[in-house]
Chains A and B, each alone.
Chain A
């Protein structure tokens, strides 16, 4: 079980988190084609190497965080909290 350094809570077991998947840009809903939208929904790059992904600290602070993780070694080289609510950044 890997450890994920939560920016709010410190290193915690990955079982406390929900994996949200690779970060992908949501296409513009007004102009998107079916192929582009389904690529956004279902196709992952799943690289061998560094990937940027979102985790949700569901059994902890309930914050979403972005991690850079190496998919082979599971090394996490950075995590950052996502935007705070209420307009602060």
Chain B
């Protein structure tokens, strides 16, 4: 039965897609096999007589080919380092290493098959019932379950290439390249629309591909017309995975070089759903034995690949597809011993097995027939996913025994082909053409005048399940017995039943099993299928790889003009917001001591910078800041804090008055975009009559802070047109002048570090030049560049808070120790009511300086202050201060603890508790600010 290579390949078939002159070698579970170019993994394995191709997920039952298409739940393989490859779809390639997933240690002897013996304990809701308590064992349960559950192995290396996404904007998107889809595409394109035609298989043609000589000829003619049409773009081996609002459609392209799949985001004016029909399995005892196949699986294997799926076949059918399969089998030399036609009263009771594979069938007339192939043709499922996703509610067509589109179809979505009805080839093509024209009309001028011919399903017997119990969901190993048990336990609505039993929740996502699930439940409830209703089909239509969804990251990274200098001078990068900037140049503590004793420069280009111009700028400043701005003189700068309407601090910064109607605002680096939107929001929606124009100049200027007692001496070497003396240019003032020959530079006497300092904003193109000139002239002073870490240490020594670090999403203004800044006597400003109430109630944490009693202990940031089991505060910033030679912190504590001298217990992440003392000031260094003003 197995081993004899190529033994099941029959004589040439008319529509075969394999190239008999090109042999491909591959391995399956370590054994070498040969296939032909054009084979799928499954057709090649079948040609080699391999019948058992996998084990089922829960009970580890032996499984063979069932539906023989992409959706076949039994044909998932590990191929090389790629898991979950659909073996009935993926084409064979030279040297492929194919293995079965979900077996341990081997396909023949699988330990998990013990589950089969235990199956009466592994019934519906088994996982929910068993793996619940005790909670501490959850990690163990997870490991056990993972070993038994299916799925391949993701390789730790390889395939880590971003799958780029792309966009498409057709007029008409046709989902499905069978006869109806091709016909729709052609007529829409003839009417002038740009058409995107998407086909799941490697070739257009749909069911015609495994059909008669006439059908093959029609397919070929349509394919040629499509290929020649300049207005049609065709994607094969691609699938429409989802449809969202206003025809935003996701298309997954497969089989690309390098990446497995990639995503196309399509905005289409109209969508034509032409997915055809999916053959439905039939529920009976033994229906998952290797050797039991759907008629379309047999037609594909025989007519596309010239492969004999068995030697002795019985056909159970309720339609002409079973008859066609019987004919194809006879044509390739398979002995068809009996055709059991349900339309003439034939019935199937059970399939029986020997050594794990099909050995015979028992029929309803009591007869038993030996066979190694049972072909089942029980009917069709209409894959209505795209209709569901368009808000449509498909209705059950009782006579046709399948769902059809409901009347509430979105007027930009159309359906044709098997989804709508059955007919001769001519009727199918006529319906497709009419619908294609409608889609084109709707896409171009909005109104549809074409009338589509009547088209509806042919009558079909309601063949869902027989007299014995069998598997309903092959992906999830759910049997009709499980469903009946669950219904008995009260899970008798379809959505509940689905979640409880996991039926329809596996990789096939309901395409094969939904209708049978509903039918079994309907019978348990004594209802009709219409009454029971169906589960909602959700995207994606087929499982897609996470890589395709993730794509390439488009997070921009920003660099200051001085970044190259930093990197070539030992700067160690850190990502801060969108910016890449130096954290330090080797030794942050040394940078601190150099700044405190001499001079240093830091690149602060990422600060948000806005130029505000107009006669009403002070009105805007008074509105958005908590403090007052009306009396800010030209040449002066002021610190301000912005709160939201909820009183919560959201940014701070310094704004300077450049000239009568011009101001220069700086914001935090990460807050710049938010502040810009906030200002624009109030200007556009609240006060459009105000004369204010905001220009974002963040990247227009390179910004450098020159800090340290010798900063004035250094800067005066490069500036001649501005008097830098303390009398002429005092603290909290700004001047505009020339630095190192570069005119138009703003100089501000402000600093985050607590030292005498000048923040300069120079036109960005001269940033690197001015930086290097400063370094050059600073050499005599022992200048150091310093990074973010040194600045953070110094600002903490100085007790300045950082918004978002020392405040959070509920920290209102009075919690940050800026009581002196908040001017409740202003008429109105953003957040005033909440701040007034906080002021009156005294509620909320308070920011305080905290010194750990052990000066060597630096509590981790976010260490909690817990008293009597209640969180009473936390450390928001902590560092070892090289200046004070001790640890220092800022923390938020409840008001009762915010009293100088209070000792608070700080709980470290490892549970240890250390003591800290609340200080009188936030600043541990020069709290009077004498150095700044010097």
| A residues with CB within 8 A of B | 1-3, 13, 18, 20, 26, 29-30, 32, 34, 37, 40-41, 54, 56, 58, 62-64, 74, 82-87, 89
Contact = CB atoms under 8 A, between A and B. Distances in A.
A29 B244 contact: no
A82 B684 CA distance: 6
12 contacts: A1-B248, A18-B677, A26-B686, A29-B833, A30-B828, A56-B680, A56-B681, A64-B685, A82-B684, A85-B684, A87-B689, A87-B690
Nearest to B248: A1
Contact of B245 (A30, A56, A74): A74
A89 B688 contact: yes
B688 A82 contact: yes
Contacts of A30: 827-828
Contacts of B646: 41
A87 B828 contact: no
Question: Which 4 A-B residue pairs are closest in the complex by CB-CB distance?
Answer: A83-B688, A64-B684, A1-B248, A82-B684
B701 to A, nearest CB: 20
Contacts of B308: none
B116 to A, nearest CB: 46
Nearest to A64: B684
A64 to B, nearest CB: 4
Given A1-B244, A86-B614, A86-B691, A32 B833 contact: yes
B246 A2 contact: yes
Contacts of A34: 833, 837
A58 B677 contact: yes
A62 to B, nearest CB: 6
Contacts of A74: 245-246
Interface string B889-916: 0000000000000000000000000000
Q: Chain A: interface secondary structure?
A: loop
B245 A85 contact: no
Contacts of B833: 29, 32, 34, 37
Interface in B180-221: none
A41 B812 CA distance: 15
Interface in B671-688: 676-677, 680-681, 683-686, 688
B677 A84 contact: no
A84 B246 contact: no
Nearest to A32: B833
B685 A82 contact: yes
Given A30-B827, A34-B837, A37-B834, 15 more contacts: A3-B246, A26-B645, A29-B828, A29-B832, A34-B833, A56-B681, A64-B680, A74-B246, A82-B688, A85-B691, A86-B614, A86-B691, A87-B688, A87-B691, A89-B689
A83 B681 contact: no
Contacts of B614: 86
Interface of B: 244-246, 248, 267, 614, 645-646, 676-677, 680-681, 683-686, 688-693, 827-828, 832-834, 837
A37 B244 CA distance: 37
A62 B610 CA distance: 15
A19 to B, nearest CB: 12
B680 A62 contact: yes
A2 B688 CA distance: 28
A20 B677 CA distance: 11
A63 B684 contact: yes
Contacts of A58: 677
Contacts of B832: 29
A23 to B, nearest CB: 9
Nearest to A28: B828
Nearest to B692: A85
Contacts of A89: 688-689
A18 B246 CA distance: 19
B246 A54 contact: no
A41 B831 CA distance: 10
Contacts of B828: 29-30
Nearest to A75: B246
A18 B673 CA distance: 12
Contacts of A64: 680-681, 684-685
A5 B96 CA distance: 50
A58 B684 CA distance: 13
Contacts of A20: 681
A37 B834 CA distance: 8
Nearest to B167: A13
A30 B833 CA distance: 8
Contacts of A85: 683-684, 688, 690-693
Given A30-B828, A85-B692, A89-B688, A1 B245 contact: yes
A42 to B, nearest CB: 9
Nearest to B826: A29
Nearest to B410: A73
A86 B693 contact: yes
Among A3, A63, A83, the most chain B Cβ lie within 10 Å of the Cβ of: A83
A83 B691 CA distance: 12
A41 B645 contact: yes
Nearest to A14: B245
A27 to B, nearest CB: 8
A87 B690 CA distance: 6
A13 B646 CA distance: 30
Contacts of B676: 62
Nearest to A18: B677
- Which of A1, A54, A64, A89 counts the most B-chain CB atoms under 10 A from its CB? A64
B689 A83 contact: yes
Nearest to A36: B833
A2 B245 CA distance: 5
Contacts of A26: 645, 686
A83 to B, nearest CB: 2
Contacts of B267: 3, 13
Contacts of A86: 614, 691-693
Nearest to A2: B245
A54 B685 contact: yes
Nearest to B646: A41
Contact of A83 (B248, B677, B684): B684
Nearest to B245: A2
Contacts of A3: 246, 267
Nearest to B673: A58
B688 A84 contact: yes
B115 to A, nearest CB: 43
Contacts of A84: 688
A32 B645 CA distance: 13
A26 B244 CA distance: 35
B682 to A, nearest CB: 10
Contacts of B245: 1-2, 74
Contacts of A41: 645-646
Nearest to A89: B688
Nearest to A1: B248
Contacts of A18: 677
Contacts of A54: 685
B859 to A, nearest CB: 35
B688 to A, nearest CB: 2
A2 B267 CA distance: 10
A40 B830 CA distance: 13
Contacts of B686: 26
B665 to A, nearest CB: 16
A56 to B, nearest CB: 6
Nearest to A58: B677
B439 to A, nearest CB: 19
Contacts of A37: 833-834
Contacts of A32: 833
Nearest to B828: A29
A64 B686 CA distance: 11
A56 B681 CA distance: 8
A13 B690 CA distance: 31
A47 B645 CA distance: 24
A82 B681 CA distance: 10
A41 B832 CA distance: 13
A86 B837 CA distance: 34
Contacts of B244: 1
A2 to B, nearest CB: 5
Contacts of A87: 688-691
